[in-house]
A and B are shown apart, each in its own frame.
Chain A
Amino acid sequence: DGGITQSPKYLFRKEGQNVTLSCEQNLNHDAMYWYRQDPGQGLRLIYYSQIVNDFQKGDIAEGYSVSREKKESFPLTVTSAQKNPTAFYLCASSIDGGMGTEAFFGQGTRLTVV
């Protein structure tokens, strides 16, 4: 069953802690993306990767880090430097990072700081 799997679905973090959100895809897609969505807002790009071992900052990368050691995996770490981390985090992938490619999303992780 092909798709994009994000885990966990819900995550609670204490202030000052780092947390890592998992994103795995078995679609053999080259490109992967992380977005953040706040209530009533659109999606804002955090990081994206068009190929293994390479990634670029998006519009709101401060306080986040990523790695792309394997084609199928693109974990996102929310560090303690991210001042307002409570949000809905969405991982997406596309066949490649080219202009015509469609992106598909995982089910999301809802992060709450307690």
Chain B
Amino acid sequence: QKEVEQNSGPLSVPEGAIASLNCTYSDRVSQSFFWYRQYSGKSPELIMSIYSNGDKEDGRFTAQLNKASQYVSLLIRDSQPSDSATYLCAVNMGGNNRLAFGKGNQVVVIP
């Protein structure tokens, strides 16, 4: 099992809709979870961090964490064309405090 998995293929959403991204992780002792946005040809930019079970909202972004199910998600409400990017899930692996990344999910917002 991969440490961090993002299995969904490219996601196309109409402008104004909700984009939903999912991520699962393998290390049960992980305590820190992050979502990064990466535009084509650019470096990743941190957009959300979450440490406790439940929801965390920041503007149009909501991160959801369920440690029992080893699952973290990101919702983008009122999607805008500027949200078109690849979203990377990252998990701090508790055993040696290193950050592991999923392969990312590409989001395309259609005007």
Q: Interface residues, chain A, CB within 8 Å of chain B?
A: 33, 35, 40-45, 48, 50, 56, 58, 90, 92, 97-108
B98 and A45 contacting across the interface, CB-CB below 8 Å: yes
- Least Cβ distance of B35 to chain A in Å? 11
Which of the segments B67-75, B76-84, B89-97 contacts the partner chain?
Answer: B89-97
How many chain B residues touch A (CB < 8 A): the figure is 26
B42 and A107 contacting across the interface, CB-CB below 8 Å: yes
A43 and B88 contacting across the interface, CB-CB below 8 Å: yes
B17 in the interface, Cβ–Cβ < 8 Å?
no
New contact pairs (9) apart from A42-B101, A42-B103, CB-CB < 8 Å: A41-B103, A43-B88, A44-B101, A92-B99, A98-B97, A99-B94, A102-B34, A104-B46, A107-B43
B88 and A42 contacting across the interface, CB-CB below 8 Å: yes
Residue of B nearest to A97 (CB): B97
- Least Cβ distance of B70 to chain A in Å? 16
B94 and A102 contacting across the interface, CB-CB below 8 Å: no
Residue of B nearest to A106 (CB): B43
CB neighbours of A102 from chain B (8 A): 34, 46, 49
B55 in the interface, Cβ–Cβ < 8 Å?
no
Residue of A nearest to B106 (CB): A40
> Which residue of the partner chain, among A33, A48, A92, A100, contacts B51 with CB atoms under 8 Å?
A100
B44 in the interface, Cβ–Cβ < 8 Å?
yes
B103 and A45 contacting across the interface, CB-CB below 8 Å: no
Given contacts A100-B32, A107-B43, contact A42 B51 (CB under 8 A): no
> Which residue of the partner chain, among A45, A97, A104, A105, contacts B100 with CB atoms under 8 Å?
A45
Given contacts A40-B103, A43-B88, contact A108 B34 (CB under 8 A): no
A45 and B46 contacting across the interface, CB-CB below 8 Å: no
- Least Cβ distance of A95 to chain B in Å? 12
